[in-house]
Structure 1
Amino acid sequence: MQKILVILTCLILVCCNGQEPKRPLNKNQKMDKQNLEYITFGGGCFWCVEGVFENLKGVESVVSGYSGGHKANPTYQEVCTGETGHAEVVQVGYDPKVISYEQMMDVFFFLHDPTQLNRQGDDIGTQYRSVIFYKDEAEKARAEQALKTSEASGRWHGKYVTQIVKFEKFWPAEDYHQGYFDANPNQPYCSAVVAPKVAKFKKHYGELGMLKPEAVK
Structure 2
Amino acid sequence: MQRIGFGGSCYWCTEAIFRSLVGVEKVEQGWIQAKQLGDFAEGVIVAFDESKISLQSLIEIHLHTHSATSEHALREKYRSAVYILDGHQRLQAQESLALLQGDFEQPLVTQVLDFKDFKLSKPEYQDYYFSDPDKPFCVNVITPKLRALMDKFDNKLTNEAKSVITKQS
Identify the residue that residue 87 of structure 1 maps to in structure 2: 41
Q: CA deviation at 1:188?
A: 3.0
Q: 1:54 to 1:144 in 2, by over 3 A?
A: same
Q: What's the CA shift string for 1:87-139, capped at 9, x where partnerless? A: 111111111111111111111111112111255xxxx2511120111122221
| Runs of 4 or more consecutive aligned structure 1 residues displaced over 6 Å after TM superposition | none
2:158 is equivalent to residue 212 of structure 1: yes
1:51 aligns with 2:16: yes
Offset of residue 204 of structure 1 = 1.9
**How many residues are aligned here?**
161
Aligned partners of 1:192, 1:51: CA distance in 2, in Å?
Answer: 14
- Structure-2-length-normalised TM-score: 0.87
CA distance in 1, matches of 2:34, 2:46: 19
Matching residue of 1:62: 27
Q: Which amino acid aligns with 2:60?
A: D
Question: How far apart, CA to CA, are the structure 2 residues paired with 1:69 and 1:174?
Answer: 21
In the aligned structure 1, how far is the partner of 2:53 from the partner of 2:140?
A: 29
Match of 1:142 in 2: 92
1:140 Cα offset (Å)? 0.9
**Equivalent-residue separation in structure 2 for 1:93 and 1:56 (angstroms):** 11
**Change in CA separation of 1:47 and 1:203 when aligned onto 2, cut-off 3 Å:** same
Q: What is the aligned partner in structure 2 of residue 167 from structure 1?
A: 115
Equivalent residue in structure 2 for 1:116, among 70, 75, 85: 70
Q: Which has the higher strand share?
A: 2
Name the structure 1 match of 2:147.
199
The answer for unaligned runs of 5 or more in structure 2 is 164-169
> Is the CA contact (8 Å cut-off) linking 2:16 and 2:129 kept in structure 1?
yes
| Alpha-carbon distance in structure 2 between the residues aligned to 1:214 and 1:185 | 13
Alpha-carbon distance between aligned partners in 2 of 1:136 and 1:93, rounded to the nearest angstrom: 14
Gaps of 5+ in 1: 1-35, 71-83
Secondary structure of 1:87's partner? strand
Q: Conserved in 2, the CA contact under 8 Å of 1:116 and 1:161?
A: yes
SS at match of 2:106: coil
Measure, in 2, the Cα distance between the counterparts of 1:125 and 1:133. 15
Q: Aligned partner of 1:172: which letter?
A: L
Partner secondary structure for residue 16 of structure 2? helix
Question: Do the aligned residues in 2 keep the contact of 1:105 with 1:146 (CA within 8 Å)?
Answer: yes
Between structure 1 and structure 2, the one with the greater Rg is 1
Cα distance, 1:136–1:118 mapped onto 2, change above 3 Å = farther
